Amino acid sequence: MPLSSPTGHRPASPSTALLTDRYELTMLQAALADGTADRRCVFEVFTRRLPAGRRYGVLAGTGRFLEELEDFRFGPAELEWLSNEGVVDDRTLDFLAAFRFSGSITGYAEGEVFFPLSPVVVVEGSFAEAVLLETLLLSTLNYDSAVASAASRMTSAAIGRPCLEMGARRAHEDAAVAAARAAVVAGFAGTSNLEAGRRYGLSTIGTAAHAFTLLHDDELSAFRAQVAAQGTGTTLLVDTYDVRRGVENALAVAGTELGAVRLDSGDLTLLASEVRAQLDAAGARSTRITVTSDLDEHAIAGLAAAPVDAYGVGTSLVTGSGAPTCGMVYKMVAREDAHGVLQPVAKVSRAKASVGGRKSAARRIGTDGRAVEEVLVAGPDEAVRGWRATEPDLRGLHVPLVVDGEVDPRWTGAEGVRTAVARHRSSRDELPRGARRLSADEAALPTVTVRLD
């Protein structure tokens, strides 16, 4: 189970209102001035394409966004800075001082897989409310989903062996917490990051680095100190000097009850085989082997035949394994006209066109229980709004996240992570055979549009 007994508590948070781009506020000022700020609008988050070689994406960060939305308040400090910098006028400052998002947000459940054009989040509210959320929403989902998408490939390649997140030293301190959470959503068993563990109830892992061995006069003394502090169930790092001698020293100190050894360098396939044989010959058959050292999904797949029990992953994970963003965009797809009627709108720019109108989404499931296509439902606004997946082979994908300004607490905190872990496991298991291959290919599911009119 990847989650420990959670507190579910988050530290007191400063306002997130300035984690945004200036043009959102300047658009608001202009809309307030010309009377269009109150027009009801629908915005949609989607990606036009998956990163090269990826067959599916994994939605992550929804819970974090909802937590940050609750802190999206313009307090005296934020308003004073905006005023001093001349970002917006007094009328806009007055609006921001009273701002509370009162609209509604639906979307794919966190942990769900997605494909090109999947409407993973739909925001509805006045233009003044909805336009302010663009950067906060995209910065959260783009990074977290990139990490989760990479993590899902890694946990697939691991074929049931635990993957452990160790990337905090390769990321910004706030990104490290987000990455740890996203990795667990996609199946990682734990994280080295203590703040992520505290905030989201994640299991935390870690024992000692090479520095601890080098601190002591010899390896045997270092191992004795670690076992005295942590017990024989600890993991001893055996490659500071000579691996074979390191295993001998580990067994001399902890005996056959030693929990695990860690290998962090060299030919991991060869070393794991040699260490496994050495442990077994000594009677330490239950002692596990954990490997680290710049692993990614391809390296993990290459170790499939090696006697490895767990993988520690850092740099490749927190950088999205070559795809550090999912390319998600936030586009208006409908807006109220001068007569109060919601009208579809769309960009027609070359290579950046969007599809107008509110959309819902479902996944079509074949008779074997495997998904066969991503279904986008389009048509008149009221028809799409009221549409529900009633056909037996369709699974509806949109769930309510915010209703009339109230965040659904099921998606936040430690509970939200648990829910996302289960959702991802089920969603990935539903993909067609071959969808988890690491070789470059097309999206695992085609996206089709069904019109209600």
CA distance 268 to 290: 10
Query: Hey, how many other C-beta atoms are within 10 angstroms of the C-beta on 52?
Result: 8
pLDDT band with cut points at 50, 70 and 90 for residue 13: low
pLDDT > 80? residue 196: yes
For residue 419, being part of any structural domain is answered with yes
pLDDT > 60? residue 4: no
For residue 223, being part of any structural domain is answered with yes
pLDDT score of 440: 81
Q: Considering only CA atoms, give the Rg of the chain.
A: 25
- What's the domain range around 225? 207-308
Query: Hey, how many other C-beta atoms are within 10 angstroms of the C-beta on 304?
Result: 12
Residues 335 and 420 in one domain: yes
Domain boundary among 248, 276, 308: 308
Residues 238 and 297 in one domain: yes
Strand partners, 204: 191
H or E element in which residue 132 lies: none
User: How many residues appear in the chain?
Assistant: 453
- Do the beta carbons of residue 184 and residue 3 sit within 8 Å? yes
For residue 390, being part of any structural domain is answered with no
Query: Hey, how many other C-beta atoms are within 10 angstroms of the C-beta on 318?
Result: 29
Residues 215 and 291 in one domain: yes
User: What is the side-by-side strand order in the sheet with 371-378?
Assistant: 394-396, 360-365, 371-378, 447-451
Residues 403 and 327 in one domain: yes
Residues 303 and 340 in one domain: no
Residues 236 and 261 in one domain: yes
Mean pLDDT over each residue of the chain, to the nearest integer: 95
Instruction: Calculate mean pLDDT across residues 261-276.
Output: 97
Residues 294 and 330 in one domain: no
Instruction: Calculate mean pLDDT across residues 79-85.
Output: 98
pLDDT band with cut points at 50, 70 and 90 for residue 5: very low
For residue 165, being part of any structural domain is answered with no
pLDDT digits (tens, 9 = 90+) for 94-151: 999 999 999 999 999 999 999 999 999 999 999 999 999 999 999 999 999 999 999 9
Could you tell me the CATH number of the domain that includes residue 44? Answer: 3.20.140.10
Nearest CA to 313 among 192, 139, 160? 192
pLDDT > 70? residue 3: no
pLDDT score of 350: 74
Residues 224 and 293 in one domain: yes
Domain boundary among 243, 274, 308: 308
Instruction: Calculate mean pLDDT across residues 183-193.
Output: 98
Q: What is the DSSP string of 250-291?
A: HHHHHGGG--EEEE-SS-HHHHHHHHHHHHHHTT-TT-EEEE
For residue 259, being part of any structural domain is answered with yes
For residue 446, being part of any structural domain is answered with no
Residues 225 and 296 in one domain: yes
pLDDT band with cut points at 50, 70 and 90 for residue 14: confident
Residues 6+ apart with CB under 8 A from 220: 249, 252, 253
pLDDT digits (tens, 9 = 90+) for 138-170: 999 999 999 999 999 999 999 999 999 999 999
Q: What is the DSSP string of 14-75?
A: ---TTSS-HHHHHHHHHHHHHT-TTSEEEEEEEESSPPTT-S-EE---HHHHHHHHHT----
Residues 260 and 231 in one domain: yes
pLDDT score of 53: 86
Phi and psi (nearest 5°) for 148?
A: -65, -35
Cα dihedral angle (361, 365, 369, 372), rounded to 10 degrees? Answer: -100
Strand partners, 328: 47
For residue 369, being part of any structural domain is answered with no
Q: What is the number of structural domains in the chain?
A: 2
Could you tell me the CATH number of the domain that includes residue 303? Answer: 3.20.20.70
Placement of tokens 């520095």 in the chain:
211
- Do the beta carbons of residue 258 and residue 280 sit within 8 Å? no
Residue 225, both tokens: 């100190």
- Do the beta carbons of residue 103 and residue 128 sit within 8 Å? no
For residue 294, being part of any structural domain is answered with yes
pLDDT digits (tens, 9 = 90+) for 343-358: 999 888 777 777 899 9
Residues 407 and 433 in one domain: yes
Residue 138, both tokens: 């995209």
pLDDT score of 170: 95
pLDDT digits (tens, 9 = 90+) for 26-60: 999 999 999 999 999 999 999 999 998 899 999 99
**Collapsing DSSP states into helix, strand and coil, what is residue 139?**
helix
Residues 295 and 347 in one domain: no
pLDDT > 60? residue 9: no
pLDDT > 60? residue 12: no
Handedness of CA 242, 243, 245, 246 (dihedral sign): positive
Domain boundary among 308, 336, 364: 308
